[in-house]
Amino acid sequence: MSNLKPGNKKDHQKMRIRAFPMTMDERYVENIWQLLKNAIQEIQKKNNSGLSFEELYRNAYTMVLHKHGERLYSGLRDVVTHHLENKVGYLVLC
């Protein structure tokens, strides 16, 4: 019973429970990215009536959470660059 004293730090060590490390399947990441890419292209066409922004946010957040943020960023950069070069650039130069 002497080990149960409030001042005994040995028995008051906190136990840490770590989350199980989860990895995402590459096919799943690719499916999420294709969904986001298509949605971005629809938004650029001003055709966003059928999109769920909550679902898009959740998918983007999932990619970042599972360490695929760089893929999301580079893909977004490529889609926006392509749109600006091929659609908007033509209108600006006319």
- pTM for the structure as a whole: 0.73
**For residues 41 and 21, is the Cβ–Cβ distance under 8 A?**
no
Q: What residue ranges do the domains of the chain occupy?
A: 53-94
Report the pLDDT value the prediction gives residue 85, as an integer from 0 to 100. Answer: 93
Could you give the maximum distance between any two Cα atoms of the chain, in Å?
87
pLDDT per residue as tens, the chain (94 positions): 555 555 555 566 888 888 766 777 999 999 999 999 999 999 999 998 899 999 999 999 999 999 999 999 999 999 999 999 998 887 787 7
For residue 44, give the H/E element and its range.
Answer: helix 26-44
